[in-house]
Amino acid sequence: MNERSLETPAPAADLGEEQARIALANQLLAGNRYGTPEHERGLELMQRAATGVLAPQAQWLLGAYYLQVGSRPNAQAEAARWLQEAAQAGVSPAIDRLADLYLQGLGLPFSIPRALELHRHLADRGHPPSAWQAGYLASQDATPRASREDPAATAFLRASALAYPPAYYSLGLRFALGAGIAQDKALGRALLLRAADGGYLDARVAADELVPEQDVGSEAAMWHARLKRNLEEAQPLLARLAPGDALIGQPANAVLPKLEAHLVGIEHPALRLDASGRAYVETDGSEPLRAVPRAWDWASLQPKVGISRGFATREECAHLMNKVANSLTLPHEYRISDSANDDAELISFSGRGRPLGAMHSDAVVRLLERRTASMADWSMAALEMCSIIRYQPGEEYRPHVDFFSDEQIEVNRIQKGDPSGQRIATFLLYLHAPAAGGETEYPKSGLVVRGERGMAVLHYNVSADGRQDQASLHIGRPVREGEKWLWRSALRERSLYG
């Protein structure tokens, strides 16, 4: 931000001129292919706006632009540069994407603590998704602590005070399992049921599987009723919560301690207030909720297919399903680019899906990508953008291969500026397995894989010498009962970034 904008309001004429410049820049960038003179003119205009009276807005838009045009030289470093500028000015979306960049580890060094710090900052301004991500990241951070509080459960408790169903779910899992905190099955079930009240997928099923009603009698019903009444009474406080810009160093939103104290008012002994009036949950020293993937079990060598059970937790799987549940579309609607592989998906896949690009990834996506890269001994920079697909009864994925033809690789390189080459392997993670049907079949080897929640499948699309492997042909059999959800990515030959 320049000196004039810090000291006095900018004249209306200046604001109007800058708004017009930013609007024109957006139009040129969105309406013209990267590399054309019009596109470059749009980028030049946006860079000029980034030093004007609306600098934070333009800086944020530049950061978002470089995140999405990864094939530009030094795109990730440029994204980091502009996001840091906008974050210093308090632009909340820029802070969120900056945290994501720290977790991707491209353009900035990989750092869970730094991403956690940024999400905690947004959480203290009243942003529920960041409050949840702070809890998730705290559960993944292995840094030793001397504090008596469990940082993950504490973050989820504070997010629950914001009436955020994912936080009820995550806190409920921890009480139900005794993960990082003392087990309390009745409160765990009550919290899971509150998440179910908010429409959170898997919450009711988790409550019934982990804490059957007959195991806790009327106690869970009592806590559920208290939580429900507590939220009803919290509405005036929630109405006063107005998350806005989040200048680094600002104190927490003054409404948050009041909301947290109100939630602690249900009078459960595990929910407490610290000396500053913030809510917390005390740790009992037990293991946190964290995935422990098993080593690859190579079920087939031609094609090469590996299976890793326990790759992701129930929490991670549920989060990804809920993240896209209301935005799944048919293949022709989410198709990203013109390619033979996308054409094949239009014909062969009858379910629904949703890509998760750089603007929609989050802490779970990034740490699953990092887990994938680690388990496959691959580079994060060579992981394809992930997507989530869902099959309902009768839906299938007919026989197909995932590798690129030689012609497609050349089209990608010349027309799209994509230097990453072949899809060496495909990665699949079962978020939810159907009750019947939906197996993944490799007909040329006779292998049939029946999925289970949290199980990963890695199959190679090329042979050991790098040639396209026709034996990698596979089928997603029709689902007969229930739903099948997959998180998928691919391991490219080289980095996707310029």
Claim to verify: residue 401 and residue 484 sit in the same structural domain: yes
Residues 356 and 311 in one domain: yes
Q: Are residues 209 and 98 in the same domain?
A: no
For residues 174 and 216, state if they share a domain: yes
425 located within any domain: yes
Question: Distance between CA 185 and CA 213 in Å, rounded?
Answer: 10
Query: Which pLDDT does position 13 carry in this prediction?
Result: 55
* Ramachandran assignment for 379, one of left (phi > 0), alpha (psi -120 to 50 degrees), beta (any other): beta
Q: Whole domain around residue 164: which residue ranges? A: 128-281
102 and 168, same structural domain? no
In a domain, 160, yes or no: yes
Q: Identify whether residues 343 and 215 lie together within a single domain.
A: no
Q: Which amino acid is at 489?
A: S
Q: Which burial class, exposed, middle or buried, applies to 251 when counting CB atoms under 10 A from its CB (0-12, 13-18, 19+)?
A: exposed
- For residues 337 and 205, membership in a common domain is answered with no
Per the CB < 8 A criterion, the answer to whether 405 and 454 are in contact is: no
Together in a domain, 358 and 269: no
Q: Buried b vs exposed e over 223-242: b needs ≥16 C-beta within 10 Å?
A: bbebbeebbeebeeeeeebe
- Please tell me whether residues 462 and 429 are part of one structural domain: yes
Number of domains in the chain: 3
**Which residues lie across from 272 on neighbouring strands?**
280
- Inside any domain, residue 273: yes
Q: How far apart are CA 71 and CA 447, in angstroms?
A: 37
Confirm if 298 and 306 have CB atoms less than 8 A apart: yes
- Does one domain contain both 192 and 66? no
Q: Considering 64, 80, 110, which residue would you say is the last residue of a domain?
A: 110
Instruction: Give the list of residues 6+ apart from residue 111 with CB closer than 8 angstroms, or none.
Output: 102, 103, 105
3-state secondary structure of 201: coil
- Answer whether residue 340 is part of any domain: yes
Give the CB-side neighbour count of residue 309, counting CA atoms within 13 A.
6
Do the domain assignments include residue 118? no
What CATH number does residue 425 fall under? 2.60.120.620
pLDDT of residue 182: 97
Last residue within a domain, chosen from 257, 281, 305? 281
**Count of alpha carbons within 13 angstroms of residue 62, beta-carbon side:** 29
The answer to the question of residue 246 being in a domain is yes
Count of CB atoms within 10 A of residue 214's CB?
Answer: 6
Is residue 121 a part of any domain in this protein? no
Q: Across the beta sheet with 440-442, what order do the strands follow?
A: 397-400, 474-476, 440-442, 447-449
DSSP state at residue 292: -
pLDDT at res. 246: 77
Strand partners, 462: 468
What is the structure's pLDDT at 165? 99
Is 253 a member of any domain? yes
211 in the same domain as 92: no
Q: What local confidence, expressed as pLDDT, does residue 136 receive?
A: 99
Q: Could you say which residues of the chain have pLDDT below 70? A: 1-13, 244, 336-340
99, 149: one domain? no
Last residue of some domain: 281, 315, 339? 281
Predicted local distance difference test score (pLDDT) of residue 341: 72
